[in-house]
């Protein structure tokens, strides 16, 4: 039984670590338990603010970002409009010929990670990581067309391409119908593109979770290739999105929808004219994805995710204390977990707090729990693979203008995965992360 | 659990670092916005163009044309009040919500009512005019008559008599424009191209009516309330509407207007 546990534990950690379908290949071997694959880590670092927009529209980064790179309501509306202001200046022809929708990111960070198993330190790593430069392109070409394509080049020579898409804006002349084709992120309160923390802690977010032992790499956190239809009202107070996708990374699912899935979310934002509570945004989402378990894609097994979130803006619209409560429940087909005897289910919740006392400074913290409600393999101990995650951080911009941003960030997080080590001990990682980032 | 305490302590500590609030101050015109909070809104969304001192000299102002507004002067181009008066809060709110088309001023429709109200209150602290003057009373707009071929024809004649000097055939190529025009800030300014179907501020025939009646503060665009009757201004508005794809224009009237002699064309013919 212990051997089974170890197998499941290893698979759980691998599943967590390889949740990025666009990067992790289907035939990639397992990573050492408790350590994430470098390529995966890189993927999630590749999203920041977009100085090209600031340059194009003459806006400061803080106009769209509550604190870089998290969007505020104005930035959300800008994104929902396909990176357009809708003010007659979106078309490339309305800009100086010298303008190109290009931007660059450059970053370096220092990280110390201590891994403890059963209360004993088993690994102590750290150092300055390889930096990278991103020369990406995104924005609106004309009123009707927006796009995104972001290649990332690392110091060690590796190059990956971030998700890319082309979007047809305002089909039928309506904001309620925009069509995006390509690998698109799902509309969720947290996603890799707009996280405060520049480190790899986001793999602990509930949206990235996979049940212990699952062979599926599907998660709602990472972009999935397919078609997105989304719409919104003026100011993006009411929004919806529907994604039809081919589950990214699914083995042998190389045709358009060989391993299909669907995601949908609706949100509503309510603002208040008086009082300490400035605004509330609530959203619900559901996802169903399939993953092949046989020699081809004829035998697909399903995974479902249901979730909700409530976001509170307190005290101020522009310098708020923002609290976001997220919850999600998931259920996977038992066939996705080798030797499973029943469909595994889990529940997860997260509370994120952010406070912006003044521009451009932000403090943030996060508490998260993930509980496996029903283990796939009968006899697996209760709590196996459960996760607790806590994070605190501060980010400050040394420069933040309409041409470039220079960011400094310090983060500490503790991530515990329960009962997965030999003997049923917990695996806990303590990480201190210090990074600097240049966007231009 | 200890980390939870750290998170809480960090948040509480951070709250103590909040900026000192300016005293709440109601702006002119009975606006109940909070100027202190409005300054925060301004610093987030407006400062890059309008400048830290609200003087229109933000870091991107040098690349902007037209130049960002200098709020210290209390001169606002677009108002529903007669020429020369301060705009109403609703006028300012409209510009904030809709932006000014084709300029660097984007639409801020995503901002909450409170944010817009607060930033207006802040702007109203930036010029002494708001302390000594009241906003103008919006002009009365009579019910819009039907836009007909007759109205468009008459509107063309009135346009030719009153507008062609600057707007030319509607594209902004009048003699004065060719010669060169400046606004009250000494900056070069060109008359609007009315054939584009949308102005910086105006979208509909009603908007064109307001602009024609009240003019544009700080620019050579005069008010026509003394020169034309409301009926005549509506006719001009319907002619302009038929020059391009303005909201509410019809293809039939656009085609009809296109068959009419261009303003200035008939009189200049040998």
Q: Closest-CA residue in chain A for B102?
A: A88
pLDDT at B32 over 50: yes
Query: Phi first, then psi: what are they for B35, rounded to 5°?
Result: -65, -30
pTM exceeds 0.90, yes or no: no
pLDDT at A32 over 80: no
Domain that holds residue A272: 2-439
Whether ipTM exceeds 0.85: no
pLDDT band at A120 (very low <50, low <70, confident <90, very high): very high
CB contact under 8 A, A321 and B15: yes
B155 lies in the same domain as B260: yes
Q: What digits encode the pLDDT tens for the residues A90-116?
A: 888 888 787 888 888 888 889 999 999
Residues B260, B262: Cα–Cα separation, whole Å = 6
Residue tagged 């009512």 (tokens): B113
Q: Report CA torsion sign: B245, B250, B252, B257.
A: negative
Q: Is residue B14 situated within a structural domain?
A: no
**A2 near B CB under 8 A:** no
pLDDT band at A390 (very low <50, low <70, confident <90, very high): very high
Q: How many domains does chain B have?
A: 2
Q: Is residue B7 situated within a structural domain?
A: no
B126 lies in the same domain as B69: yes
B172 lies in the same domain as B221: yes
Closest to B7 (Cβ–Cβ): which among A318, A319, A367? A367
Q: Is residue B98 situated within a structural domain?
A: yes
B254 lies in the same domain as B154: yes
Query: E strands within chain B?
Result: 181-182, 188-189
- Look at A74-88, A403-417, B19-33 and tell me which has the smallest mean pLDDT: B19-33
Q: Report the CATH number at residue A307.
A: 2.40.160.10
Closest to B48 (Cβ–Cβ): which among A58, A316, A392? A58
Residue tagged 């040394």 (tokens): A398
Which residues in chain B are closer than 8 Å to A317, comparing Cβ atoms? 37, 41, 111-112, 114-115
pLDDT at A402 over 70: yes
Last residue of a domain, one of B132, B165, B186: B132
C-alpha torsion A301→A251→A298→A226, nearest 10:
80
Q: Closest-CA residue in chain A for B198?
A: A88
pLDDT band at A201 (very low <50, low <70, confident <90, very high): low
pLDDT at B176 over 70: yes
Last residue of a domain, one of B132, B167, B201: B132
| Distance in Å, alpha carbon of B142 to nearest chain A alpha carbon | 29
Q: How many Cβ pairs within 8 Å bridge chains A and B?
A: 126
B127 lies in the same domain as B158: no
Q: Is residue B105 situated within a structural domain?
A: yes
Answer whether A266's CB lies under 8 Å from A286's CB. no
Query: E strands within A235-383?
Result: 238-246, 260-271, 277-292, 300-314, 321-332, 345-358, 361-374
Answer whether A373's CB lies under 8 Å from A345's CB. yes
B126 lies in the same domain as B195: no
CB contact under 8 A, A73 and B14: no
B160 lies in the same domain as B261: yes
**A74 near B CB under 8 A:** yes
Q: Is residue B12 situated within a structural domain?
A: no
Q: What digits encode the pLDDT tens for the residues A133-169?
A: 888 888 999 899 999 998 888 888 888 777 789 999 9
Percentage of residues in chain A having pLDDT higher than 70: 86
B171 lies in the same domain as B249: yes
B81 lies in the same domain as B172: no
Q: Is residue B223 situated within a structural domain?
A: yes
Q: Which residue has the higher pLDDT, B20 or A221?
A: A221
Over range B149-168, report the average pLDDT: 96
pLDDT score at A286: 98
Over range B90-101, report the average pLDDT: 96
pLDDT at B103 over 70: yes
Closest to B59 (Cβ–Cβ): which among A271, A402, A414? A402
pLDDT at B155 over 70: yes
| Interface residues from chain B to A (CB-CB < 8 Å) | 3-4, 6-7, 10-11, 14-15, 17-19, 37, 40-41, 43-45, 47-49, 59-60, 63-64, 99-115, 198
pLDDT band at A60 (very low <50, low <70, confident <90, very high): confident
Domain that holds residue B105: 24-132
pLDDT score at A23: 30
Q: Is residue B40 situated within a structural domain?
A: yes
Closest to A279 (Cβ–Cβ): which among B7, B106, B112? B112
Q: Which of A56, A86, A317 to mutate to test the interface with B (most CBs of B within 10 A)?
A: A317
The first and second tokens of residue A167, run together, are 């979007």
pLDDT at B74 over 50: yes
pLDDT score at A137: 87
B153 lies in the same domain as B76: no
pLDDT at A14 over 70: no
pLDDT at A12 over 50: no
Q: Is residue B115 situated within a structural domain?
A: yes
pLDDT at B198 over 80: yes
Closest to B49 (Cβ–Cβ): which among A58, A77, A316? A58
**A387 near B CB under 8 A:** no
pLDDT band at A211 (very low <50, low <70, confident <90, very high): very high
Q: Report the CATH number at residue B41.
A: 1.10.760.10
For B30, residues 6+ apart whose C-beta sits below 8 A from its C-beta are none
Q: How many domains does chain A have?
A: 1
- What part of A 181-220 touches B (C-beta under 8 Å)? none
pLDDT at A360 over 70: yes
pLDDT at A352 over 90: yes
Residues A291, A252: Cα–Cα separation, whole Å = 10
Last residue of a domain, one of B132, B162, B196: B132
B114 lies in the same domain as B176: no
- What part of A 256-275 touches B (C-beta under 8 Å)? 271-274
Over range A364-383, report the average pLDDT: 94
pLDDT band at A24 (very low <50, low <70, confident <90, very high): very low
pLDDT score at A49: 58
């Amino acid at each position: 039984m212990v051997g089974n546990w170890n197998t499941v534990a290893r698979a759980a950690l691998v599943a967590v670590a390889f949740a990025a379908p666009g990067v992790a290949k289907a035939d990639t071997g397992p990573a050492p338990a408790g350590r994430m694959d470098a390529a995966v880590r890189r993927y999630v670092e590749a999203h920041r603010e977009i100085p090209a927009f600031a340059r194009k529209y003459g806006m400061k980064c803080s106009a769209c970002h509550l604190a870089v790179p998290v969007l505020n309501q104005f930035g959300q509306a800008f994104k929902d409009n396909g990176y357009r202001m809708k003010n007659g200046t979106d078309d490339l022809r309305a800009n100086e010929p010298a303008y190109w929708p290009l931007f660059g990111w450059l970053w370096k960070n220092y990280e110390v990670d201590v891994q403890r198993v059963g209360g004993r330190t088993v690994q102590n790593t750290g150092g300055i990581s390889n930096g990278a430069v991103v020369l990406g392109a995104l924005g609106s070409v004309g009123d009707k067309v927006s796009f995104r394509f972001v290649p990332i080049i690392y110091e060690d020579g590796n190059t990956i391409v971030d998700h890319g898409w082309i979007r047809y804006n305002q089909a039928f002349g309506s904001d309620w119908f925009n069509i995006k084709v390509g690998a698109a992120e799902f509309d969720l309160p947290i996603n890799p593109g707009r996280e405060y923390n520049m480190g790899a802690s986001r793999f602990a977010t509930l949206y990235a979770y996979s049940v212990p032992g699952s062979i599926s790499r599907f998660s709602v956190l990472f972009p999935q290739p397919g078609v997105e239809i989304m719409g919104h009202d003026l100011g993006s107070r009411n929004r919806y999105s529907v994604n039809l996708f081919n589950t990214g990374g699914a083995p042998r699912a190389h045709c358009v929808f060989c391993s299909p899935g669907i995601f949908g979310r609706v949100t509503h934002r309510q603002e208040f004219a008086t009082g300490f509570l400035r605004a509330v945004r609530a959203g619900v989402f559901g996802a169903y994805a399939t993953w092949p378990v046989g020699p081809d894609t004829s035998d697909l097994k399903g995974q479902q995710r249901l979730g909700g979130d409530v976001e509170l803006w307190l005290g101020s619209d522009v310098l708020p204390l923002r609290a976001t409560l997220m919850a999600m429940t998931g259920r996977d087909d038992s066939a996705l977990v080798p030797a499973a005897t029943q469909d595994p289910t889990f529940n997860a919740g997260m509370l994120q707090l952010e406070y912006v006392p003044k521009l451009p400074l932000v403090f943030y913290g996060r508490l998260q729990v993930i509980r496996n409600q029903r283990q796939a393999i009968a006899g697996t101990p209760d709590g196996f693979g459960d996760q607790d995650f806590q994070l605190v951080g501060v980010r400050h911009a040394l420069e933040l203008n309409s041409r470039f941003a220079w960011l400094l960030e310090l983060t500490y997080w503790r991530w515990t995965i329960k009962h997965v080590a030999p003997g049923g001990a917990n695996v806990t990682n303590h990480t201190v992360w210090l990074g600097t980032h240049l966007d231009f | 659990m200890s980390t939870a305490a750290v998170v809480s302590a960090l948040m509480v500590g951070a709250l103590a670092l909040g900026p000192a609030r300016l005293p709440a101050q109601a702006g002119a015109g009975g606006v109940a916005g909070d100027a202190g909070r409005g300054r925060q809104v301004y610093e987030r969304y407006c400062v890059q163009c309008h400048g830290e001192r609200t003087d229109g000299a933000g870091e991107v102002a040098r690349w902007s044309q037209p130049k960002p507004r200098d709020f210290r002067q209390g001169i606002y181009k677009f108002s529903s009040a007669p020429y020369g008066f301060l705009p109403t809060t609703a006028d300012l709110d409209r510009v904030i919500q809709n932006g000014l088309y084709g300029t660097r001023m984007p639409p801020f429709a995503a901002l909450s009512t409170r944010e817009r109200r607060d930033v207006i209150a802040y702007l109203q602290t930036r010029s002494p005019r708001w302390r000594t003057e009241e906003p103008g009373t919006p002009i009365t707009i009579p019910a819009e008559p039907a836009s007909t071929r007759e109205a468009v024809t008459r509107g063309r004649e009135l346009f030719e008599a009153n507008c062609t000097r600057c707007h030319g055939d509607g594209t902004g190529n009048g003699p004065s424009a060719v010669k060169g025009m400046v606004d009250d800030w000494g900056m070069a300014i060109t008359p609007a191209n009315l054939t584009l179907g949308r102005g910086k501020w105006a979208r509909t025939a009603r908007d064109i009516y307001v602009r024609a009646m009240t003019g544009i503060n700080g620019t050579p665009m005069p008010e026509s309330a003394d020169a034309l009757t409301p009926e005549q201004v509506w006719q001009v508005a319907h002619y302009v509407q038929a020059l391009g794809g303005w909201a509410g224009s019809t293809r039939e009237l656009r085609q009809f207007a296109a068959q009419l002699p261009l303003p200035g064309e008939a009189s200049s013919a040998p």
